[in-house]
Every structure is written in C-alpha cells, then in structure tokens.
Structure 1
Amino acid sequence: MLAPLVVLTVLLLLADAAAALGGVTDRLRGAVSAVLGPAEGLASAAGGNLADAARGLTGGTCEQTEALRRENDALRLQAASGDDDRRRAAELDGLLRVAGLGGYRVVPARVVAVAQRQDDAHRVTVDAGTRDGVRPEMTVLDGDGLVGRVLRAGPTTADVLLVTDPDFSVGVRLERTGRIGVATGAGDDPMHLNLLDAQTDVQPGARLVTLGSEGDRPFVPGVPVGEVRSVQISPGTLSRSGTVAPFVDPGTLDLVGVVVQAPRTDPRDAVLPPKPTKTATSTPGTP
C-alpha cells in the first residue's frame, strides 16, 4: 500500500510545481483523498491488529514461560524430596538392621545441631531426651556402627560425644580372635588403638566391635567400631598400638539410635556386615 502512496505524492508535488494547472491540482488532490482514504484506514486498522496480536503473543509467551518455570521448580522440589525420602528410608533400614542383629532396643533420633569446634571437641545434639527414655551414658549408634555416647540429656534433646572426640575412648574386641584393647578419638585423624597383648597378631583390615561396659553403661557390647589401618609395637611397653578408621562418618550423621535397653547376650561379631568376597581374576593363557 505504501508504494502507490509514494508515487501519488510525487505526482502531487509535480502538479504543485506546475502553476498553470491551478484548479486541476485541487481536483486531483480531492480525487486522491477519495480513492486512498479507505486504503489508509484499512492499513491503519491492519497495523493496529498486528500490534495487538504481537502484544497478545508476547503476553501469552511470558505467562506460559512463568507457568513452565513454576512447574519445573515443583518437579525439582519433588525429585529432591523423593531422594531425601529414599535416603532416610535407607538410614532407617540400616538402623533397624543393626538393632535387630544386636538385640538392642533403640530410640530413633535425628541430629538437629552440631557443636562448634572448640578445643577440638566433636559433639552433636539429637532430638530425643528424657521423655523418650534417653539418659546420660547411653550408647548411640546408626546403621554403620558406633556414633558415640550420651553426655547430657534434657526433656526433648540430648548431647552426644562422638567417637572422633579426643576425650572419647571405648573398650574394643577384635573380630574372631576376641583380643581386647582400647580405641580413642583423635579429632579428624583416625582413632588411636592400644591392644593389651603385645603378642596379638593384628593385620590391617581387622574389624573391631565394642567390648561392653559394666552394667552396659556407657557401652553395650557388639557394636561395630571401625577397621584397623595400621599396627606397630610400642617400644618399652607390653602392648601394640595402631590406628582405626571408624565405620561412622560424623560429617554425614542424620538418623541415629540411642540404645535404651542392652541385649540379653553379647552379640559378639554378629552385627558386623559380611566382608566383601574377593573375585578371582584369571591371567591370559589360564582357564
């Protein structure tokens, strides 16, 4: 539509330049207006409709994008919740397995606070207390093994001293041989191990469980503690020393169990998980 308008404008300018045309120019202008007036209105209406359509399209796209974003956020939250539920279910299964194998009656609790590291202290707070039967000097464990012992207990919460705390120590028994010793926390380093018999032959990889305390306080027997990393003879002593990697990682604690009733009999090594079997490998040329 613009091309005819441009041509007619040029013609009008030429007509104005010709003075002799006089009234012809006016009549020509009127004819052009009569012919092109409806066309101009049609062009204006079409442009307005296109603008409205563009605005509608843009607005609809924005609304659709926002709706998709909200749906995507909801799906992400749902997926995260599903992963968290599966993790918690796995932790609960592990805790129930340990409690069942050992014959421990436990009160489940969640870690709700971590104490600030002062003087290398390693402590957490759980959401179970005296109202749940929790008392000081009770064993705390999870699906992997020994977590620590209860230091203090209030009505609804309790403070737990972790196995990694330098003030923590527990009597331990070696798997199968039954040799005994003491494991002590060492902060972020592996636990220290002191075996009472220097003649004890211990190899790296040997596993330890709690020896148990008199009256089952603070430790019940048979709870997995850790795996021996190294052993050496202490000069001038009648004992062997070494290091132990705890089964429990304090940095990932969530669901734990406070043992409120000890087993009737010592489970010994029954709570330890089965050792992974080594798969035989064949060399080229051998069947």
Structure 2
Amino acid sequence: MRDTKESRLLLVLLVVVAFALITVDIRGGENSPLDRPRQAAQSAFGPVENAVAGAVDPVGNAMDAVKHSGDRNGTISRLERENAALKQQLGSKDITRNRAAELDRMLGTAGAGRYTIKGAQVIAIGAAQGFSWTVTIDAGSDDGVARDMTVINGDGLVGRVTTVGASTSTVLLANDPDFTVGTRLEKSMELGFATGQGNRPMRVQLLNGKANVHDGDRLVTFGSEAGKPFVAGVPVGRIVGIDPSGGNLTKTVQVQPFVSFTRLDIVGVVVVGPRTDPRDSVLPPRPTPPATARPRNTAKPGGTPSGPPGGTPSGTTPPADAVPDYNTTLGNGSTPTNSSGG
C-alpha cells in the first residue's frame, strides 16, 4: 500500500474504531457485547496457537538447555563429589568402629595377663627375609620395641618380633612353619611344643604320650625365661584333632589358632611381661551349659494330685540325675563352672 492521504486517513479511522471497541468492552464487563465474538475467535484460533506453541517449545527448551548446560554439568559434578565424600566418610566410620572394637578386646587380653603392650597397626604383609608368613607393623625401636618380643591381639598369640627398625618392625606369625612356641594345656598343665603349618592347624607335640586330651581343649603359651621371646599365658588355640599315638612317647594334636592371621589389623607388642604366670586366666570363660527345665508333674485321672506347677509333689525327692543350675551364684559371689571336658 502506498503512503497516500487516503491510506493515512484509513489508518487513523481503524485506530479510533479499535479504541472505541476497547472502551465498550471494558465498560461492558461480563455483559460486554464483544464477549461472544471473542469466544468465537478463541475457538477458531486456539488450536492454531497450541499447535504453533507445541512446535516452537521444543526449540525454545533446547536453546534453554544449551544456554544452561554448563551450570547443570557443574551441579552434577558437585553432587557426584559430595556423594563420593559421604561414602568415604561412612566407610571411615565403619573402619574406626572395627578398630575400636579390636583395640578394646586387645586391652582386655593385656589386662587379664598383666601385659604391658605397645599398640601398633599392620601396614604390610608378605615374605620378608626368607619368612613366608610375616607382617610389618608401624612400631619400632623408637617406640620401645625390641627383637624377640611377643605380639598379641584381642584373640591371642599373633607371633614374635624378628627384625626392628626405628619406626617399623617385622613380625613372624605363629602359623609360619619356622615358628615354634612352648604350650601348656588348660587345667591339666600338660606341656608341649606348637609349630605353625600355614593355613592348616598348628601341630602340637605333647611331652606326655599318655596325656588325656579331647577335642576343644585349649592351650596357652608356656613362657620363656625373662619373657623372651614369649610371655606366659597367651591363648594359642583349641584342639581340633588328635593323631594316633602309634606307641610313641609323645602325643601329637592339631590345634586351630584363636587368631585369624589373614585379618590382622590392630596388634600389641608386649614390652613388659607379667610378674607371675597368669596360667589360664587370659582364656575367655567357657560357655555355661543351659540349665534343662524339669518336666511338670501332672496328676493322672484317679491318681494323686500334683504339687505346685513346675514343682515337686509333696513327700517326694528330686530325681538323682536332675541337671544342676549353673546360673546359681555361690555365697562368695562366684559362679560355679563346668569342670568336665578339660
């Protein structure tokens, strides 16, 4: 359209009409005469508007995603780092709890045997100086550790110190084939010598070929002069097999060590041994057999009435083979123990 006088007049006229329609629509409110035309226009052009919006929105979203992709990648990276840190923190707490429990058991063992120990941590494993079963600990001469000192943990005998540096030491484990320690059998005090056999139970030769031994009997260290290389009373293991004697002067038994040598972490080096032999006091108490409940004495039809529920009828005595109550406390405050089974 050319820019003529007629076109300018038409434009002014259209603007005046538009303002007039807007004024009428506003003053009419809900009763506006333009309401119905507006609804008709909305019905006609609404689908077209939605279609256009549906076609244009993905492009807009894609442009927005490109615009903010750097921020989102940074957020994802930050969340991944925080997640890894939380996992590491949770793992560290589990390790700390496990080490605290190990340290607590070891201090209990040292207290029962009156051992003065230097705590240490296993920092390396593997062959060293020709030994096949050794570990390296983070304590050395600067910590008071010396050669031929006994090494224990909360379960019992770990080994002995063989090589000492300023801040580290090498420990020969008790399951090494070159490891030998004097032992004493619990209660009977029978003496013997235990030798490591790697992943198999230790081999113990008892000096008395007629010694009365049973599976489950436990052994402790006999001890050495001046407590080197072994202090007395450290738990060694329990008997899991008895070899045929074959008329030999000695008796050989297989002993499963109390210590798990493949799971060592916190250990203690005995720097000062006990003044007196603790004998069996370091061994944990044997499990108390549960007391067997006595059967109720019920009266039969036409028979003699029974006594109180769970009790003994009047005028009768308990059976001779009644099981004693191991949970009864004596007058001196101690609890009787089962002495059978060695």
Verify same fold: TM over 0.5: yes
1:150 aligns to 2:146 (yes or no): no
Return the structure number with greater relative CO, CA threshold 8 A, min gap 6: 1
Letter in 1 for 2:266: L
Identify the residue that residue 185 of structure 2 maps to in structure 1. Answer: 174
For the residues of structure 2 that align with 1:60 and 1:261, how far apart are their CA atoms? Answer: 63
SS in 1 for 2:89: helix
Higher helix share: 1
Indicate if the aligned counterparts of 1:205 and 1:227 stay in contact, CA closer than 8 A: yes
Q: 1:209 aligns with which of 220, 229, 236?
A: 220
Identify the residue that residue 99 of structure 1 maps to in structure 2. Answer: 110
Moved more, 110-119 or 149-158: 110-119
1:248 aligns to 2:248 (yes or no): no
Per-residue CA deviation, residues 197-224 of structure 1 (Å, 9 max, x unaligned), is 1221111111110011112111000000
Identify the residue that residue 100 of structure 2 maps to in structure 1. Answer: 89
Task: State the number of aligned residues.
Answer: 247
Q: What is the CA distance between 1:68 and its match in structure 2? A: 2.8
Identify the residue that residue 132 of structure 2 maps to in structure 1. Answer: 121
1:191 aligns to 2:218 (yes or no): no
For the residues of structure 1 that align with 2:288 and 2:271, how far apart are their CA atoms? Answer: 35
Q: 1:119 to 1:150 in 2, by over 3 A?
A: closer
For the residues of structure 2 that align with 1:62 and 1:115, how far apart are their CA atoms? Answer: 45
TM-score, with length taken from structure 2: 0.65
Letter in 2 for 1:125: T
Letter in 2 for 1:137: D
SS in 2 for 1:79: helix
Q: 1:59 to 1:285 in 2, by over 3 A?
A: farther
Q: Cα RMSD over matched residues?
A: 2.9
For the residues of structure 1 that align with 2:74 and 2:107, how far apart are their CA atoms? Answer: 49
For the residues of structure 1 that align with 2:234 and 2:245, how far apart are their CA atoms? Answer: 27
Letter in 2 for 1:93: D
Letter in 2 for 1:112: I
Indicate if the aligned counterparts of 1:109 and 1:258 stay in contact, CA closer than 8 A: yes
Give runs of aligned pairs for residues 14-163 of structure 1, distance below 5 A. Answer: 49-55=60-66, 61-116=72-127, 121-163=132-174
Per-residue CA deviation, residues 203-261 of structure 1 (Å, 9 max, x unaligned), is 11111100111121110000000111011342242111110111111111111111110
Q: 1:175 to 1:231 in 2, by over 3 A?
A: same
Largest Rg, 1 or 2: 2
For the residues of structure 2 that align with 1:235 and 1:50, how far apart are their CA atoms? Answer: 90
Indicate if the aligned counterparts of 1:120 and 1:187 stay in contact, CA closer than 8 A: no
Name structure 2 gaps, 5 residues minimum.
Answer: 1-48, 298-309, 311-342
SS in 2 for 1:201: coil
Q: What is the CA distance between 1:277 and its match in structure 2? A: 3.4
For the residues of structure 2 that align with 1:158 and 1:197, how far apart are their CA atoms? Answer: 37
Per-residue CA deviation, residues 105-143 of structure 1 (Å, 9 max, x unaligned), is 011111122123897721111111111111111101011
For the residues of structure 1 that align with 2:62 and 2:181, how far apart are their CA atoms? Answer: 80
Letter in 1 for 2:180: S
For the residues of structure 1 that align with 2:129 and 2:270, how far apart are their CA atoms? Answer: 27
Q: 1:281 to 1:49 in 2, by over 3 A?
A: farther
For the residues of structure 2 that align with 1:45 and 1:187, how far apart are their CA atoms? Answer: 75
Identify the residue that residue 260 of structure 1 maps to in structure 2. Answer: 271
SS in 2 for 1:205: coil
Identify the residue that residue 232 of structure 2 maps to in structure 1. Answer: 221
Per-residue CA deviation, residues 53-83 of structure 1 (Å, 9 max, x unaligned), is 3435655554443333222212111110000
Letter in 2 for 1:95: M
Q: 1:59 to 1:154 in 2, by over 3 A?
A: closer
Per-residue CA deviation, residues 84-111 of structure 1 (Å, 9 max, x unaligned), is 1001101111111111111000111111
TM-score, with length taken from structure 1: 0.77
SS in 2 for 1:185: strand
